[in-house]
Amino acid sequence: MATETIHIIEPTLERESGHYGFVASLCHADTSNRICLWVSKRADLSVLKKLRVEFRRFFYRRLRRVQAYFLYRKLLDLPGRLFVATAGRADLLLLNWAARQQIPPSKAYLYFHWVRPTPSKLANFRKIARAQPNIVILGPTPSVVGVFRECGFENARVVPVPINPDVGLKPTQQQPFRHLFYPGSARHDKGFSKIVDLVEYLAARGMQIPFSVQISPDHYDKYDQASRADIVRLGNIAYPSLRTYPDTMPSAEYREKFLGAICLQPYSVDDFADRMSSVTLDALSAGCPVITTAGTWMGRIVEKFDAGIALGKLTAEELFQAINSIIKDYHRYQLNALNARKALHEEHNAAHLLNVLAA
């Protein structure tokens, strides 16, 4: 195929958080196609400026839906391919409305990281599948993609989420255990309250295990009500070995935190039963064992490689026992995480997604 532009659309991308790793992996991996990245007006992505990527700071958060409609309409009339990196039902609706006729093959690609089917959503999906049979739907797991296939999207396929490229962090040897690490945003569905419970537990027992907790908001710069209360609760706990990070970490600092760490991901099984987490991939890429929830995508990965522990119960006591088990056998768990890194980097290589977008 001749070289052409791939327009990657990520309206809320502003910094190295959220789905930054997903987009960055494509920017790092592509060697032939021109990439145009459409992001937030407030985006500061200087780390990607050295790459052959054209930036369009375009979206205002509150106007992004309206802007997306007009952008889709514009890009559908131009050469090149359109890729919505974090798609939702609204993107399908807007794309269908923006198209004044049937979208041609190999033109529009939407990646759904997860989907929660409802009767109204399924009705919308079926209607759009009939009107726009050439839209390509991509997703990380068979269950996500299966929803769209059942609704009539014949061009729906599983493509693993790419692993964020290793920028300045390529562990070649094992590290001694040095701290617990809760990365990412403070969110209820990501078990932030369980983390605060654990800190309370450690403090009450006079423990001194170093604990790094990231308490940054989600990619909308917001906290849910429960997490806001938990941040206040965390601030009132006297645990000298606790260090909190209220803002998004620079990429190098974020990755360094995984070295010699145990990554804690007590995520909700209801929200993450078949929803992948880039944090798990980041952790294992750095040789960092993971403690997470049984019955989730993360739990299955951890169990597959014996690179941590997946818990059925997420009480502070259960988490503490799992932490102790890994600390006592840290060398073995870390080695298994490093071995998982090799397999996962092949399975989640960005080239797989680029091959689909450029086929």
3-state secondary structure of 234: helix
Backbone φ and ψ of 178, nearest 5° = -135, -25
Give the pTM.
0.85
| pLDDT per residue as tens digits for the range 79-92 | 999 999 999 999 99
Domain residue spans of the chain: 5-164+349-358, 179-346
Round the average pLDDT of the chain to a whole number and report it: 90
In this predicted structure, which of 6-20, 75-89, 159-173 has the lowest mean pLDDT? 159-173
Instruction: Give the CATH number of domain 179-346; options: 3.90.280.10, 2.60.40.650, 3.40.50.2000, 2.60.40.10.
Output: 3.40.50.2000
Q: What percent of the chain has pLDDT over 70?
A: 93
In this predicted structure, which of 38-47, 147-156, 228-237, 314-323 has the lowest mean pLDDT? 38-47
The total number of residues shown for the chain amounts to 359
Give pLDDT, residue 168: 40
- In CATH terms, the fold of domain 5-164+349-358 is Rossmann fold (3.40.50)
Same fold, 5-164+349-358 and 179-346: yes
Res. 24 pLDDT band, cuts 50 70 90: confident
In this predicted structure, which of 186-195, 198-207, 246-255, 311-320 has the lowest mean pLDDT? 246-255
Residue 235 has pLDDT above 90, yes or no: yes
- Better-scored residue on pLDDT, 275 or 136: 136
Give pLDDT, residue 170: 55
Angle, vertex CA 225, rays to CA 223 and CA 226, nearest 5: 105
β-strand 261-265 against 179-182: which pairing, if any?
parallel
In this predicted structure, which of 25-34, 187-196, 339-348 has the lowest mean pLDDT? 25-34
Q: Find the DSSP H helices in the chain.
A: 20-29, 64-76, 89-98, 119-131, 142-150, 192-204, 225-235, 251-256, 269-272, 278-285, 297-305, 316-328, 330-347, 350-358
d(CA 15, CA 248): 8
In this predicted structure, which of 1-15, 112-126, 148-162 has the lowest mean pLDDT? 1-15
